[in-house]
Amino acid sequence: MSDSPENYVPLSLKHLQDHNHASSQIEIADFHTKSDHHAFKLRYRSNSIVSAAGTVSTAPEEERPLPTIKILGTGGTIASKANSSHATAGYEVDLTIEELVSQIPDLSGTCQLEYEQVLNIDSSELGPKEITLLRNQIVEDLDHYDGIVITHGTDTLEETAFYIQSTIETEKPIVFCGSMRPSTAISSDGPMNLYQAIVIASSSTSRGRGVLTSLNDRIGSGYYITKSNANSLDTFKSVGQGYVGNFVNNQVRYYYPPAKPSGLTVFDIPAEIEFAEVPIVYAYQGFDTKVLELVLKNIDAKGLVIATMGAGSFPSKCNKFLADTVSADFPIVYSKRSMDGMVPEGALPKIRGVPFQNAIAGGYLNPQKARILLQLCLNAGYDLKKIKQVFKVV
């Protein structure tokens, strides 16, 4: 579909009045994609920061043409409604990305905006099929846009962000955002988080920083960030690594020059991928080997992640059981229950005085991110030695 004016229609009169726009300034086009959902183009101006050759303008930012940003909606609390304005639990996903965009401030001086509803579900329902669909859409869109924004449920946002960071190599900003309160709640955080994510993705200073997250005025690294509180707005943190920047008074401010995580491995994966089965076992006092036996015998597991106590602590009887049970090439990642800190190689168990060869130190990664990295290693056909090399730097 071309971008000729006849393909666009003005936004609704109510939307224009609410945001003080003139119908001649904003136009919207709805077009069908190859998938079963709609995509929309919200046009403010007709230029872009990326030229036809794909190069980036070197002119001062205030003199550059506006970037073109694509929002991909996937659902989550940010797209949810509750029964009352004070309810912050028991809500359901009920808003489209089009409705979300209508709630944010004027962006006519910031970017050209396009958006597409890829999914519209709670993030707890996301699985390999949905994550693959989202990744493929991002890959398809990156050649055509200056930045990508993804609205996502907060419960598993950190997992999707880590996966996207580990499977897409780009200098363009990919920014995840969500909310802790549904759209119907008093002081809902969704519209502001989405607005900030769009501005962050539009900023040339966001290039070369990897996948980012934008919530509660803070900019985090999708590689390290984790949800630390089940209820609070200020929930996404990476205690040891810190935030990479913040958003204050409509300004994007970074603390450091552009850089990506030092331990990052980017995997070249096909459009369709079969995820290896890798369960996570959560350690606790009195942990019984029967749990391990149940997991290993009833799941066609290709690897295992253990959320250990402390920095790699796991009952000695359980370590011995694993050593006596699994094959010589079966990878076992020792991660940690605690949000901060790391599991070093020196903390890995010894079996009868000899280092447990199947054990892999999870480094700074939490169990859910360690699981994704192990899955990617297995799908790449890495042997145990190569997997240890990948985890050695995380």
- CA pair distance 159, 168, nearest whole angstrom: 14
Please state, in angstroms and rounded to a whole number, the distance separating the CA atoms of residues 45 and 66: 8
Q: Residue 380: which residues within 8 A CB-CB, separation 6 or more?
A: 267, 269
- Which among 152, 276, 138, 279 is positioned nearest to 214, based on CA atoms? 152
Q: Is 154 annotated as a binding residue?
A: yes
Output helix, strand, coil percentages for the chain, rounded to the nearest 5.
Answer: 30, 25, 50
The Cα–Cα gap between 242 and 365 comes to 14
Distance CA 184, CA 162 (A): 29
Question: Which is catalytic among the residues 68, 74, 77, 96?
Answer: 77
Residues composing the chain: 394
Query: Which of the residues 68, 132, 154, 213 is marked catalytic?
Result: 154
Give the C-alpha separation, 78 to 183, whole Å: 6
Euclidean distance between CA atoms 233 and 254, whole angstroms: 21
State yes or no: 170 annotated in a binding site. no
User: Do the annotations mark residue 335 as ligand-binding?
Assistant: no
- What is Dmax (Cα atoms) for the chain? 77
**325 flagged as catalytic:** no
331's CB contacts (< 8 A; 6+ apart) are 303, 304, 358, 360, 374, 377, 378, 384, 387
3-class state of residue 192 by DSSP: helix
Rounded CA-CA distance 176/250 in Å is: 18
Please give the DSSP secondary-structure letter assigned to residue 240: T
Q: Confirm whether 33 is a catalytic residue.
A: no
Distance CA 282, CA 305 (A): 9
Helix (H, G, I), strand (E, B) or coil at 358: coil
CA dist 127 and 277 (Å) reads: 12
**Which residue stretches of the chain are H helix?**
13-18, 97-101, 128-142, 157-167, 190-202, 289-298, 316-325, 367-379, 384-391
| Residue closest to 107 by CA, chosen among 55, 60, 147 | 147
Residue 54 backbone zone (phi > 0: left; psi -120 to 50: alpha; other: beta): left
Residue positions forming the annotated binding site: 123, 154-155
Residues labelled as active-site residues: 77, 154
Residue positions forming the annotated binding site for substrate: 123, 154-155
